[in-house]
Amino acid sequence: METGSLDDGRAAGDEPGWTALPPGLLRMRRLLLVVWLGPLALAVGVLLGALAGPVWSAFALLPLALLGWGWVLLGRNWRSWRYAERADDLLISRGVLWREETVVPYGRMQLVEVTSGPVERHFGLATVQLHTAAAATDATIPGLDPAEAERLRDRLTRLGEARSAGL
Amino acid sequence: MTTDRGDGADVEAADRDNGAGDRDGAGDRDEAGDRDEPGVIERRLHPVTPLRRAWAPVAVLAGWAVHDPSQAQQQLTKLTTTMLLAGLAVLLPAAALYGFLSWWFTHFAVTDTELRIRTGLLFRRTAHIRLERIQAVDVTRPLLARLAGVAKLKLDVIGTDKKDELAFLGEDEARALRAELLARAAGFAPETAHEVGEAPARELVRVPARVIALSLLLIGATWGSLLTAVVVPPLVWLGTHSLWTVLAVAVPLFGGAVTSSAGRFVGAYDWTVSESPDGLRIDRGLLDRTHETVPPGRVQTVRIVEPLLWRRLGWVRVELDVAGSSNSVLLPVAPRGIAESVIARVLPGVTVPDASLLVRPPRRARWCTPVWWRGHGIAVTDAVFAARHGLLRRRLALVPHAKVQSVRLTQGPWERVWRVADVHVDTGANKTVTARLRDAEEAARLLRAQAERSRTGRREARPDRWMQR
Alpha-carbon span B246 to B237, nearest angstrom: 6
Mean pLDDT of A122-134: 89
Instruction: Give me the number of domains chain B comprises.
Output: 3
With residue A142 as reference, give the H or E element that holds it: strand A139-144
B172 and B243 inside one domain: no
Would you state the pLDDT for residue B327? 60
Q: Are residues B105 and B169 in the same domain?
A: yes
Within-domain flag for B467: no
- Binning pLDDT at 50, 70 and 90, where does residue A99 land? very high
Three-state SS at B199: coil
Beta carbons of B426 and A88 less than 8 Å apart: no
Q: Is the pLDDT of residue B300 over 80?
A: yes
Rounded to whole angstroms, how far apart are CA atoms B405 and B3? 31
User: What is the DSSP secondary structure assignment for residue B391, as one 8-state letter?
Assistant: S
Q: Which residue has the higher pLDDT, B34 or B456?
A: B456
* pLDDT tens-digit series, residues B108-117: 988 888 888 8
pLDDT at residue B36 is higher than 60:
no
Which residues on B lie below 8 Å from A1 (Cβ)? 359, 442
B162 has a pLDDT exceeding 90: no
Rg (CA), chain A: 21
Is residue B10's pLDDT more than 50?
no
Indicate whether B86 pLDDT > 70.
yes
Whether residue B68 is predicted with pLDDT greater than 50 in this model: the reply is yes
CB B300 within 8 A of CB B429: yes
> Do A98 and B411 lie within an 8 Å CB cutoff?
yes
Give the pLDDT score at A166: 56
d(CA B332, CA A18): 48
Q: Is residue B3 part of a domain?
A: no
pLDDT at A78: 93
On whether both B24 and B57 belong to a single domain, the answer is yes
Cross-chain CB nearest to A3 (options B406, B409, B446): B446
Residue A7 phi, psi (nearest 5) = -105, -15
Residue B304 has pLDDT above 50, yes or no: yes
What pLDDT, on the 0 to 100 scale, is given for residue B97? 84
**What is the average pLDDT value for chain B, to the nearest integer?**
80
From chain A, which residues contact B within 8 Å (Cβ)?
1-4, 6-8, 10-11, 88-89, 97-105, 107-108, 132-139, 163, 165-167
Read off the pLDDT band of B409 (50, 70, 90).
very high
Read off the pLDDT of each residue in B39-52 and give the average, rounded to a whole number.
79
Whether B331 and B368 share a structural domain: yes
Q: B60-64, B143-147, B165-169: lowest mean pLDDT where?
A: B60-64
Chain A residues touching B362 at Cβ < 8 A: none
Shared-domain flag, residues B254 and B116: no
Alpha-carbon distance B231 to nearest alpha carbon in chain A (angstroms): 42
How buried is A95 (Cβ within 10 angstroms: 0-12 exposed, 13-18 middle, 19+ buried)? middle
What pLDDT is attached to residue B176? 86
Q: Measured between CA atoms, how close is A54 to chain B, in angstroms?
A: 41
In this complex, which of A2, A165, A167 lies closest to B323 when CB atoms are compared? A167
Task: For residue B384, tell me if it sits in a domain.
Answer: yes
Tell which CATH classification among 3.40.50.970, 3.30.56.10, 3.40.50.10470, 2.30.29.30 matches the domain A83-162: 2.30.29.30
Verify that B54 and B108 share a domain, yes or no. Answer: yes
Q: Confidence band (pLDDT; 50, 70, 90) for B376?
A: very high
Chain A residue with the nearest C-alpha to that of B357: A1
Cα dihedral B240, B244, B245, B251 sign: positive
Residues B165 and B53 in one domain: yes
Domain identity same for B303 and B440: yes
> Do residues B161 and B255 share a domain?
no
Whether residues B406 and A6 touch (CB distance < 8 A) is answered with: no
Provide the whole-model pTM: 0.78
B328-348 per-position pLDDT tens digit: 889 999 999 999 999 988 888
Residues B192 and B235 in one domain: no
Domain with B239 in it: 209-268
Indicate if the pLDDT at residue A92 is higher than 50: yes
| B394 and B375 Cβ atoms separated by less than 8 Å | yes
In the predicted structure, residue B412 carries a pLDDT above the cut 90: yes
Residues 6+ apart with CB under 8 A from A120: A28, A126, A127, A143
Task: Return the sign of the alpha-carbon dihedral for residues B342, B346, B351, B357.
Answer: negative
| B50 or A142, which is more confident | A142
Backbone phi, then psi, for B268, in 5-degree steps?
-95, 0
B423 lies in the same domain as B341: yes
Q: What is the rounded CA–CA span in Å between residue B121 and residue B98?
A: 9
* CA gap B442, B438 in Å, rounded: 7
Query: Domain containing B112 — which CATH number?
Result: 2.30.29.30
Residue B11 pLDDT level (bands cut at 50, 70, 90): very low
User: How far apart, in whole angstroms, are the C-alpha atoms of residue B382 and residue B347?
Assistant: 13
Q: What is the model's pLDDT at position B72?
A: 66
Per-residue pLDDT, averaged over A22-32, amounts to 92
Residue B38: the pLDDT is 55
B47-61, B123-137, B226-240: range with highest mean pLDDT: B226-240
Q: Is a pLDDT exceeding 80 seen at residue B445? A: yes
Q: Residues of B112-149 as b/e, b for ≥16 C-beta within 10 angstroms?
A: ebbbbbbbeeeebebbbbebbbbbbbbbbbbeebbebe
- Beta bridge pairs of residue B150: B170
**Residue B81: is it exposed, middle or buried by C-beta count within 10 angstroms (0-12/13-18/19+)?**
exposed
CA B328, CA B140: separation in Å to the nearest integer? 14
Rounded CA-CA distance B103/B56 in Å is 14
Q: Burial, B323: exposed, middle or buried (Cβ in 10 Å; 0-12, 13-18, 19+)?
A: buried
Per-residue confidence (pLDDT) for residue B14, from 0 to 100: 34
Distance of alpha carbon A80 from alpha carbon A103, whole angstroms? 16
Question: To 5 degrees, how large is the angle CA B416–CA B422–CA B425?
Answer: 155
Of A14-28, B49-63, B168-182, B207-221, the poorest mean pLDDT is in B49-63
The amino acid at residue B321 is D
Interface membership of B430 toward A (CB under 8 Å): yes
- pLDDT above 60: residue B19: no
pLDDT at residue B22, as a whole number: 36
Q: What is the pLDDT of residue B469?
A: 47
pLDDT band at B303 (very low <50, low <70, confident <90, very high): very high
**Could you tell me if B244 and B341 lie in one domain?**
no
Share of chain A above pLDDT 90, in %: 49
Spans of all domains in chain A: 26-76, 83-162
Using alpha carbons, select from B411, B437, B435 the residue that is nearest to residue B424.
Answer: B435
Whether the upstream peptide bond of residue B168 has omega within 30° of 0, thus cis, is yes
As a whole number of Å, the end-to-end CA separation of chain A is 29
Amino acid A15: pLDDT: 63
Q: Where are the beta strands (DSSP E) in B87-243?
A: 107-110, 114-119, 125-130, 134-141, 150-157, 164-170, 202-206
C-alpha radius of gyration, chain B, whole number: 27
- Mean per-residue pLDDT for B436-462? 84
Q: In the predicted model, is pLDDT for residue B74 greater than 60?
A: yes
Angstrom distance (rounded) from CA B94 to CA A20:
67
Of A62-66, B10-14, B380-384, least confident by mean pLDDT is B10-14
The pLDDT of residue A29 is above 60: yes
How far is B292 from B404, CA to CA, in rounded Å?
Answer: 25
Q: What percent of chain B has pLDDT over 90?
A: 25
